[in-house]
Amino acid sequence: MLMTSAVKSLLRPPHMQHRPPALTAVLLGVLACQWPGGAAATEPKDKASSAACHRETYRVVLDVGHTAEAFGATSARGGREYDFNLRLAKLIDQKLHASGFAKTVLLVTKGKSRKGLGERASRANALGADVFLSIHHDSVPDSFLQKWTFEGKERGYSDRFKGHSIFVSHDNASYGSSLQFARALGMQLKTRGLRYTLHYTEKFMGHRQRTLVDAEAGVYRYDQLIVLRKTKMAAALLEAGSIINRDEELVLESPERRDVISAAVVDAVDDFCAARSPRPVERIARQPSTKLVQPASMLPTSQTKQR
């Protein structure tokens, strides 16, 4: 690190120093702020990040995947995906409100029509959402299913894959922001010890194979998803895990796992909100003088089913 002449003078032997005590105090303050281990260097980043996010005005739209009439995938034990989605989305909604995101909207859609997919995006756009997150739980193609008997009834299952996945659409008007938010979510899940599934990268997935655009955070491209393609804000779809996997179904059903996922979503929203918020500018008052004023300095991203 290069030192200014003023800082160098501070380091001179006592017999070579000729400055008032006030200047010494100022220079010590500069050192404390600029050198590693100083006050500025050790300030927690998360504290500054949270302060930058105006939670009270930030709007998150949580889309509950599928409907009660068209419930999506069926779990290994006969559960409806829609019910899994609704339980998790409700908890995320509660935690976001509790964290100060008072304008969060829980989007629940009715009916069987494909038209409802476009309506979800239209409603999010009309609400002026800052972030759109669609909540789902995953399954596998029918060709991967095996049979077992649960509670006296034959069911389909596949224990071959497990883990969550996050999708974004390149056709979204805010693709860069969508990718930034999806990455924030993926990293929050990873921090909590959760792993994403890699089976979408495999050739055996056929037309369901997806491009992995962020291998660290587990973010895939799925350009055709209507709820991601037609939304005008940062938008992502979370497959929270595989309910067709018998072990993972039980884990996803537990309050503990829902609590972990919901906490990850809240922190990801907060990170993304802080990163996208305008940074404050230090203002310098105009002086009644003809002298030029220096500009202010700036202060320190199931089966085949339609979503």
Integer Cα distance of 74 and 39 in angstroms: 55
Integer Cα distance of 267 and 45 in angstroms: 13
Top-confidence residue, 204 or 115: 204
pLDDT at residue 170 is higher than 90: yes
Q: How far is CA 102 from CA 130, 188, 208, 233, in A?
A: 13, 22, 37, 18
pLDDT of res. 52: 84
HSE, CB side, 13 Å, CA atoms: give it for residue 151.
Answer: 4
pLDDT of res. 279: 52
Domains present along the chain, CATH in parentheses: 57-276 (3.40.630.40)
pLDDT of res. 114: 75
The total of other beta-carbon atoms located within 10 Å of residue 177's CB is 21
Integer Cα distance of 222 and 201 in angstroms: 12
Which uninterrupted H or E stretch holds 242?
strand 234-242
Residue type at 259 in one-letter notation: D
CA proximity to 223, closest of 185, 172, 173, 181: 172
The total of other beta-carbon atoms located within 10 Å of residue 190's CB is 16
* Mean per-residue pLDDT, 269-285: 71
Tokens representing residue 114 in the block:
């494909």
pLDDT at residue 122 is higher than 60: yes
The total of other beta-carbon atoms located within 10 Å of residue 28's CB is 12
- Is-above-0.85 flag for pTM? no
Q: How many whole angstroms from its chain centre is CA 82? A: 22
Cβ–Cβ < 8 Å for 226, 167: no
Top-confidence residue, 105 or 307: 105
CA proximity to 144, closest of 221, 73, 65: 73
**Portion of the chain with pLDDT greater than 90, in percent:** 70
pLDDT at residue 201 is higher than 70: yes
DSSP string, 39-88: HHHHS-HHHHHHHH--GGG--EEEEE-S-SSS---B-TTS-BHHHHHHHH
pLDDT of res. 216: 98
Integer Cα distance of 112 and 244 in angstroms: 22
pLDDT at residue 42 is higher than 70: no
Integer Cα distance of 139 and 159 in angstroms: 10
Integer Cα distance of 123 and 216 in angstroms: 32
The total of other beta-carbon atoms located within 10 Å of residue 163's CB is 19
